[in-house]
Chain A
Amino acid sequence: MWVQASAGATLNVSRDAFRVIVERHQARVFSIAFRILGESGVAEEVAQDVFLELHRSLPRIESDEHIAAWLRRVACHRATDALRRRIVRRDQNAEELNDEIYAVRQPQQPASSLTARVEQLLLTLPVTQRSVMLMRYQEDLEPEEIANVLSMPIATVRSHLQRALKFLRAKAECTLKEYIRD
């Protein structure tokens, strides 16, 4: 058990226990940040901030499952906020923040050709749809769970999924099969 709960609702989290938590969830948090932002350096900073916020929020965490849900939610929000700040700084003449201008530079050092291709496609989506797609296909959440994580109606989640899939299918110039290596 990563924490020890004593009578009186007091939790003690040791440095070692928190290290275990970070190591268990670092790939999830970093992947979310990286695939929303499209840049490794900024994604790492955001991921670190997420875990620091987790450490401060531990009194409100009830279980390991709660940790995962909390990290997904906060990672999405922080990465989205970071992306929007970068867009505003990069294009200060923009009259309005438009999801269509959120496409950023290509990711660095892809893990595989298929991953590179999928991440590249994902970055062409508006950031909200990007988050929904990550929750569905990276985190394997159902629409109801996605709605809870991202605080949006289930109908909105389904609409985003439908539109994003349709868009990505049309945008992919060829099937992704050729990128899959045995």
Chain B
Amino acid sequence: MTDLDHEFEEELRQGLMLRNAPDGFTDKVLSRIPEHKQAQPIRWPVWRWATAAVVALAILLGVGFEKERQQRIAGEHAREQVLLALRITSSTLQAVNHKIREDRSSKEVQP
């Protein structure tokens, strides 16, 4: 940006200093506010409380579901591990049995 640009911007700022509202403006605004509303206590709207409650409930339910899901995953993983161990054990036992039978057969054949 050139110096001329800066100068022009500064002139814009100077030219756009705030203008006061016409005389009596504030009184006119206040006169349009109904008397009985001027000191009305202001409360948080009901819908905001309801929304907050729904959001909190959704978060709690979500946390609960997630915890249950993770427990289920952990349980399934443990089950898989047990099944794998059983399969390994089973195949090992089968191999051992096969070996024993082979040994017995070879001994019976010999005189």
Contacts and interface: CB of A to CB of B under 8 A. Distances in A.
Chain B associates with chain A? yes
A15 interface: yes
Given A30-B19, A30-B20, A180-B14, A18 B9 contact: no
B19 A137 contact: no
Nearest to B20: A27
A34 interface: yes
A134 B13 CA distance: 9
Contact of B19 (A23, A34, A179): A34
Contacts of B19: 27, 30-31, 34, 111, 115
A44 B39 contact: no
Contacts, number: 120
Contacts of B7: 175
A58 B42 contact: yes
B26 A137 contact: no
Contacts of B32: 48, 52
B42 A59 contact: yes
B17 interface: yes
A12 B43 CA distance: 9
B5 interface: yes
Interface in A1-60: 8-15, 18-19, 22-23, 26-31, 34-35, 40, 44, 47-48, 51-52, 55, 58-59
A147 interface: no
Interface in B23-50: 25-26, 28-30, 32-33, 37-39, 41-45
A44 B22 CA distance: 8
- The winner among B7, B26, B37 for most chain A CB atoms within 10 A is B26
A117 interface: yes
Interface residues of B, number: 31
Contacts of A119: 15-16
Interface string A133-164: 11001101000000000000000000000000
B44 A10 contact: yes
Given A47-B25, A165-B8, 20 more contacts: A10-B41, A10-B42, A10-B44, A11-B42, A14-B39, A15-B38, A18-B30, A18-B33, A18-B38, A23-B26, A30-B21, A30-B22, A35-B16, A40-B22, A59-B42, A111-B19, A112-B15, A114-B14, A115-B17, A175-B8
6 contacts: A8-B44, A18-B38, A23-B26, A27-B18, A44-B25, A168-B8
